[in-house]
Amino acid sequence: MGKSVKKALPVGVVSVTNDTLIQLLTQVINASHFDEDLYQRVFRALGAEGKKDKVFTALSNSLEEYYNYHNRLPVWGGAREPIPPEAEDEREEIKLYTEALRQGVTDFKSLKDLESILRQSQS
């Protein structure tokens, strides 16, 4: 796996985050299509982290939904369906969780709470 990055962080946050996971999440955010290969690599990296913190659970759920939006097939076969606008909401959540990982934030009450925590840390 990739190198770990150590940071001086406040109490209650993770001190080490795998930079490979961050790089893969950035690829997901920037990709025009979230394909099976990238999906497998991201979930392998998540598994390597082996953490059950809220951020990892929420991130896994958002990634799963985002992947599903990108790979919907019509019931009767044929080409993939267009990516619906709701996928952008999942992408924004993935961005937020990725930033939380970069900053070592692992626990929060809600998305709004996480946004507030991240804003405070940037000031």
Query: What's the confidence (pLDDT) of residue 112?
Result: 92
Answer yes or no: is pLDDT of 104 > 90: no
Element holding 4 (H helix, E strand): strand 4-6
Residue by residue, DSSP assigns 51-113 as ---HHHHHHHHHHHHHHHHHT---TT-SSPPPPPTHHHHHHHHHHHHHHHHHHT----SSHHH
**Phi (first) and psi of residue 92, to 5 degrees:** -65, -40
12-70 per-position pLDDT tens digit: 444 445 788 999 999 999 998 899 999 999 998 888 666 777 888 899 999 999 999 99
Q: Is pLDDT larger for residue 67 or for residue 77?
A: 67
